[in-house]
Amino acid sequence: MQVVVPFAGRTPKSRLEAVLSLEERRDFARAMLADVCGAVVATGNSPTVLATAPLSETTVTSLEAGTGGEYRVEIDDRPLSPAVNALLEAADEPVAIVMADLALATPVTLEGLFEINGDVVIAPGRGGGTNAMVVRHPSFRVDYHGASYLDHRQGARGVGATLETVDSFRLATDIDEPADMVEVWLHSDSRSKATLEAQGFHLETTEGRVRLARD
């Protein structure tokens, strides 16, 4: 199985700019990428990082530490959907697409995704996105705009592909908004959490709710 991890490293995680500077977002994105790719390696697969630009030296160092060097990089500066579809068109084996901001992903959760039978297997994100998927049908193509989970279900039906949906808290939790960052703190022991700690964040409880606060 080919496991693809899309990554945009130049201006990542723009919706976190209210709490993180550009360099801090880059550091956090690198950490999440290394965590996701490390989890992929632990399943016995070597990830392909589908990057919009050549990786920085800092990103390469982080990936080396997270994966032991078991990864490859493919550069494609097109938007996400055509870049992934180009890989699907060329593939001669099943392709898994795992987003780089799934900081809670573990080898166990990824193995669960990879092992489910189906022409198209989808792990939806909160809000209607598609956080991870496995494509085994040669005619299926992705479309990551809008409520992509619904679009992908319709696309699978359109090509006559069998479809399975994975109900997973860890795979459903992508780190897009500031409120999502607390999930990294609560549910992982990873480079991503260590990066937030180094940036001065700590857990705070207010009126029965938990959130991340910063020194």
* Mean pLDDT, residues 179-190: 95
User: Does the pLDDT of residue 208 top 90, yes or no?
Assistant: no
The full set of domains in the chain, from first to last, is: 2-176 (3.90.550.10)
Q: How many residues does the chain have?
A: 215
Mean per-residue pLDDT over the chain, rounded: 96
- For residue 27, give Cα distances in angstroms to 20, 80, 90, 102, 174: 10, 21, 32, 15, 16
At 187 the pLDDT is 96
At 91 the pLDDT is 96
Write the pLDDT tens digit of every residue in 38-85.
Answer: 999 999 999 999 999 999 999 999 999 999 999 999 999 999 999 999
**H-helix or E-strand spanning residue 10:** none
Query: Residue 28 in 3-state DSSP?
Result: helix
139: Cβ–Cβ under 8 A, 6 or more apart, which residues?
159, 161
Which of 212, 95, 111, 84 is closest to 170 using CA atoms?
111
d(CA 53, CA 38): 21
**H-helix or E-strand spanning residue 57:** helix 57-67
